[in-house]
Amino acid sequence: MEELKTILNEIIKDKTGYITFLTGAGISAESGLPTYRSIDGIWIKGTKYHRPEEFGTFKYFSQEPEEVWQYNLFWKKMIAEAQPNAGHLALTEIESLLADRFRLITQNVDGLHQRAGTRKLYEIHGSKQKVRCSNECSEPIDFPENVKFKEYTEDLTPEDIDYLKCTKCGNWLRPNTLWFDESYNEKNYHFDTANHIADHTDILFVIGTSGSTTLPVNIVETVKIRAKWIVIINLENDTYFHSILKGSKKLNSFQESSTVALPQLKIIMEEIINSSIF
């Protein structure tokens, strides 16, 4: 990390752009949450096997809302039992060191960054902590407290179904998350803001994400085109991000878990800031 320290020293002392972090499923996996696209991401209902790309769609929700909610309540249970880890907490500490230069864009919908206390947070795939009317009649609201989280095989109760209906128009509420057959937008997913951040970033840390959705790829491409620094922290060293950044002189790559790398990074930033004369 010595080279990175030199780079960060210059960026922290001489530049004014954002120091941006982009996180994906890898950081939550270290809190015990299965990655969405791994084998654990497959949802089995009765004898039917579904891949996220099939049932994680508005189309499927429109046909089988109860089944999609059952799956989501099972996830809600796993999320509620998971805790933010050393990586999430280090990012919150890094935010307090960097103040307004810090930005965190996450692909995760589990709310663990929020629970860890991060404020300048942009959840570009939404959050399971919120719901909204599937008929889009109103703004997103907090997840209804009265709805009980589920075991894998538990069905919805009539009370659950009542509480999962919009109180204004009576249509189903839906998770406030981006499905595979939907497009990014600013209103629910910070699309314009995320692109603006990418345009004004001096160094981008890409953590535990492999590059399978379009906005994260756009963000990395934008930072690359602007010839700014990119740092990959990932247990794998052959992700799509590695391939699009191959040969880049401004790439640092660490084959490391985020719970190990981020606390180290926090210490480096602390040393740089403490050695500065302001």
27 is a site residue for Zn ion (CB under 5 A): no
User: To the nearest whole angstrom, how small is the minimum distance from the Cβ of residue 161 to Zn ion?
Assistant: 15
Please state, in angstroms and rounded to a whole number, the distance separating the CA atoms of residues 106 and 224.
Answer: 19
200 among known catalytic residues: no
Choose one: 20-28, 169-177, 203-211, 224-232; the region binding Zn ion (CB under 5 A).
169-177
Please state, in angstroms and rounded to a whole number, the distance separating the CA atoms of residues 18 and 99.
Answer: 10
Between 32 and 170, CB nearer to Zn ion: 170
Tokens describing residue 166? 């919009």
User: To the nearest whole angstrom, how small is the minimum distance from the Cβ of residue 165 to Zn ion?
Assistant: 8
Side chain identity at 70, as an amino acid letter? Q
* SS3 call for 103: strand
133 is a site residue for Zn ion (CB under 5 A): yes
> What does the buried/exposed string (b/e) look like for 238-247 if buried means 16 or more CB atoms within 10 Å of the residue's CB?
ebebbeebee
The single residue among 48, 59, 119, 168 that binds Zn ion, judged by CB under 5 A, is 168
> What does the buried/exposed string (b/e) look like for 169-191 if buried means 16 or more CB atoms within 10 Å of the residue's CB?
eeebbbbbbbbeeeebeeebbbb
CA dihedral of residues 131, 88, 206, 19 (deg, nearest 10): 100
Please state, in angstroms and rounded to a whole number, the distance separating the CA atoms of residues 162 and 164.
Answer: 5
CB atoms within 10 A of CB 80: 11
57 is a site residue for Zn ion (CB under 5 A): no
The single residue among 57, 114, 135, 259 that binds Zn ion, judged by CB under 5 A, is 135
Side chain identity at 55, as an amino acid letter? F
166 is a site residue for Zn ion (CB under 5 A): yes
User: To the nearest whole angstrom, how small is the minimum distance from the Cβ of residue 144 to Zn ion?
Assistant: 13
The single residue among 44, 80, 137, 225 that binds Zn ion, judged by CB under 5 A, is 137
Between 131 and 232, CB nearer to Zn ion: 131
Size of the site for Zn ion (CB under 5 A): 7
Side chain identity at 199, as an amino acid letter? D
The single residue among 44, 169, 181, 271 that binds Zn ion, judged by CB under 5 A, is 169
Q: Which of 88, 125, 190, 242 is catalytic?
A: 125
User: To the nearest whole angstrom, how small is the minimum distance from the Cβ of residue 138 to Zn ion?
Assistant: 6
Cβ pair 223, 197 in contact under 8 A: no
Catalytic residues: 125
User: Which residues form the interface with Zn ion (CB under 5 A)?
Assistant: 133, 135, 137, 166, 168-169, 171
